[in-house]
Amino acid sequence: MTHQVHAFEPPERFVAGTVGPPGERTFFLQARGGGRLVSVALEKVQVSLLAEKLEELLTEATRRFGVSLPEAPVAAVDNAPLDTPVDEEFRVGTLGLAFDVDTATVVIEAIAVGEPEPTEELGEELEEDDDEEPDEDLDRLRVRLTPAGVREFIERARRVVAAGRAPCPLCGQPLDPAGHLCPRHNGYHR
């Protein structure tokens, strides 16, 4: 089976969003452009780390290359839900970031989790090819954004991550609407 590269350079819209109620949310990265819509699933911690690392990348690009960064977006905040249908293309295993100095854009690449499909017939031994990267045969989503687009993505991603369940003031674990067994209260409901 061949791998697919879903490239949006640039997308009309690139956002992080969720489907489901707090505590049961599934996180997605979604890119739309050229009549295509691609949604890939990932973990909450991956969305949080992506926003953090994008912020670091923009700061480093300013320091090293003198890129002028826009301030955090004030108007036209994208609070719209994910576009439908939200069909998961793949689950993200690896996220890659790069700054393209020539175009002053940020490239975000989300690579599918898992092992590539073997292309050899059964019964034959697969040979290790050291020249090939292990994730080269995996599906990926590649998005190229301007620094302003990255800022908008970071702000929305942070809002989406923070919109979950409130933390317990004693132990920090998320509070469920049905109750919470707090380890600081020796397992009594709180």
The string of pLDDT tens digits covering residues 160-181 is 999 888 888 888 788 777 777 7
Is the pLDDT at 190 greater than 60? The verdict is: no
> What's residue 103's pLDDT?
92
> What's residue 34's pLDDT?
93
> What's residue 127's pLDDT?
45
Is the pLDDT at 134 greater than 60? The verdict is: no
Is the pLDDT at 124 greater than 70? The verdict is: no
Q: Which residues pair with 38 in a beta bridge?
A: 31
Residues contacting residue 128 through CB under 8 Å, at least 6 positions apart = none
For the stretch 29-71, pLDDT in tens is 999 999 999 999 999 999 999 999 999 999 999 999 887 776 6
pTM of the model: 0.80
Sheet holding 88-100, edge to edge: 5-8, 140-145, 105-112, 88-100, 36-42, 26-33, 13-19
Check residue 4 and report its DSSP letter: -
**Where residue 122 falls among pLDDT bands split at 50, 70, 90?**
very low
Q: Is the peptide bond before 85 cis (omega within 30 degrees of 0)?
A: yes
> What's residue 41's pLDDT?
97
For the stretch 97-118, pLDDT in tens is 999 999 999 999 999 998 655 5
CB burial of residue 45 (10 Å; 0-12, 13-18, 19+): exposed
Please list the helix, strand and coil fractions of the chain in percent, rounded to the nearest 5, in that order.
20, 30, 45
Do 137 and 25 contact (CB within 8 A), yes or no?
Answer: no
Residue type, 80: A
Residue 45's H or E segment, with its range, is helix 44-65
- Give buried/exposed letters for 142-181 (b at 16+ CB in 10 A, else e): bbbbebebbbbbbbbbbebbeeeeeebeeeeeebeeeebe
Residues contacting residue 2 through CB under 8 Å, at least 6 positions apart = none
For the stretch 68-102, pLDDT in tens is 776 665 556 888 999 999 999 999 999 999 999 99
Residue type, 129: D
Is the pLDDT at 150 greater than 80? The verdict is: yes
> What's residue 74's pLDDT?
55
